[in-house]
Amino acid sequence: MHRLLTGLRPYFALLLLCAGLYAPGLAAVPPLDRDESRYMQASRQMLESGDFVAIRFQDVPRNKKPVGIYWAQAAATALFSDAASDARWPYRLPSALGATLAVLFTFAFGKHLFDRRVAFAGAALLASSLILVAEAHQAKTDALLLACSTAAMGVLGRLYMQARKGPAVPAGQVAAMWFALGAGMLIKGPIAPMVMILAILALAVADRRWRWLSTLRPVSGLPIALAVVLPWAAAMAMGPQTGFVSEAVGKDLLPKLIGGQEAHGGFPGLYAVLALATLWPGSLFLFPALARAVRERAQPGVRFCLAWAVPSWLVFEVVPTKLPHYPLPLYPALCLLTAAALFAVREDAQALFGRLWAKGLGAVWALVGTALAAAAVALPVVYGTGFAWFSVPMALLALAAALLPPYRSWRGLHLPAAALAVALSVPVYAGVFAGVLPRLERLWVAPRLADAVAAVAPEGAAVALSGYHEPSAVFMLGTKVRLVNAADVADILAADPAAVGIVDERDRAAFAARLEQLGVPPLPVRAEVDGFNYSKGKPARLFLFRRDGGK
């Protein structure tokens, strides 16, 4: 163990762990509705149009999040693919890279807050957390935001330790902190600054010391952060989407603060309940570790991690709109606190892991792995082509991951139990993302629609779609697909015999009636796609029509 933690070895070990966790399924999982497909399509349109300032989904301005993630996705796609391709993995690369960087930063800065053992274990727990593995597989903002916020908070932690006779922090790292803060703002607005400001306030109140804050060098640092954000903001102000800020704040941010936006509401405390799943498998030890952290809050590293996690966590709990990934920027601190407790073998606090309430939470924790095992068997039956034999070893692995770590922990082998949990999570996640999810054909309506269109029409044919207006359909069918009603589909087919019309089963009567009004004879069904629209929780049955009798 000691040799593994010397030099660059822990970084290489963590890189291998991240590759095993994030690479499987990155290319295989179809585009997800709705956010991921919106991000991918908007990034693709930047490449198609050459406009890297305005953010659009088809012809509609997308004034929700800043431009950073779109630039990253467009750059990855331009480097490894092109805008004409429907490959998803290039758009997901920034998320996988962001997750990996966050893990490496957690170790790099965690060793100054604690030691190399704690930092390595904390980074491994973060890498294998269910929510980060899920975000690493999606072309969204959160994994890359995590990398930026971890870099910024990591340097802040080093400056905090420096004020307590820790090693000096190079000026370049302080500048990098401000750059990371600006990059975080360019990716997801105020989240990264909020986490840092609340942590600083919490530390100042707890310590009653402010002088160390001068080491942040705000006079020279703030311009660095602003230099990251202001050029794009200025370009937006001079461009056609001048209402970006008012719409982003008025239609996206404020509604989330006032109520549960888009039915994503929840009660205060929900994130604490969800943590057993989102931080799985490390959540097996989370709550005893937090109890230990409160006891040991006088230790500088523990105090900093509590200041990092607790105030912002309370904010997320109070905000009415709740999604599982919102507290992700706080997870490095929680994982480091968990790892610190696992290595506190000579403290009375170690006995917390053996308390009855901790064992009870471990039994609840085991339900997450059990649910994964059940899903591996049931989902292909419900949403795939039927029972799949590959589900059996996948289910057995998930059951082992659910039962063996708590069993070892209940025997007092807490650190070996954590290592086993991380090790077993690698094949379990690989089975989920590379094995189970890609085979749930009924859920992946958009890729099957694209295949059906390619089979009945030449490349470049106009496509009009009624009833299934999911963003994944736009990404798979192309930017020019027209999302219209059934009567408009009939109008388009009447005007262009080579066009393809796609009509939902519920709209067929209106489609047929409009064709009759236009004097067009009834059209035969050229193809049919039957699936399940999981965004709406309803079946989807779509019919393809085309007047031209060609391909």
Burial of 90 (0-12, 13-18, 19+ CB in 10 A): buried
CA–CA dist 137, 488 (Å, integer):
36
Confidence (pLDDT) at 94: 98
Question: Which of 300, 349, 345 has the alpha carbon at shortest distance from 110?
Answer: 300
Block residue for tokens 């989920």: 432
Confidence (pLDDT) at 246: 54
**What percentage of residues in the chain have a pLDDT greater than 90?**
81
Confidence (pLDDT) at 458: 87
Confidence (pLDDT) at 247: 58
Which contiguous run of DSSP H or E holds residue 84?
none
The ranges assigned to domains in the chain are 3-353, 355-441, 444-545
Give the tens place of pLDDT for each residue, 239-280: 666 566 555 554 555 555 555 455 556 788 999 999 999 999
Tokens of 353: 């892991």
Give the tens place of pLDDT for each residue, 437-458: 999 999 999 999 999 999 999 8
Show pLDDT as tens, one digit a residue, over the chain (551 residues): 577 888 899 999 999 999 999 999 999 999 999 999 999 999 999 999 999 999 999 999 988 889 999 999 999 999 999 999 999 999 999 999 999 999 999 999 999 999 999 999 999 999 999 999 999 999 999 999 999 999 999 999 999 999 998 889 999 999 999 999 999 999 999 999 999 999 999 999 999 988 899 999 999 999 999 999 999 988 877 766 656 655 555 455 555 555 545 555 678 899 999 999 999 999 999 999 999 999 999 999 999 999 999 999 999 999 988 999 999 999 999 999 999 999 987 666 667 888 888 888 999 999 999 999 999 999 999 999 888 888 899 999 999 999 999 999 998 899 999 999 999 999 999 999 999 999 999 999 999 999 999 999 988 899 999 999 999 999 999 999 999 999 999 999 999 999 999 999 999 999 999 999 999 999 999 999 999 999 999 999 999 999 876 55
Question: Which of 465, 456, 460 has the alpha carbon at shortest distance from 524?
Answer: 456
Provide the whole-model pTM: 0.94
Chain CA centroid to CA 408, Å:
31
CA–CA dist 64, 246 (Å, integer):
10
Largest Cα–Cα distance in the chain? 86
Angle at the Cα of 472 from the Cα atoms of 47 and 524, rounded to 5 degrees = 115
Burial of 199 (0-12, 13-18, 19+ CB in 10 A): buried
Confidence (pLDDT) at 385: 86
CA–CA dist 440, 377 (Å, integer):
11
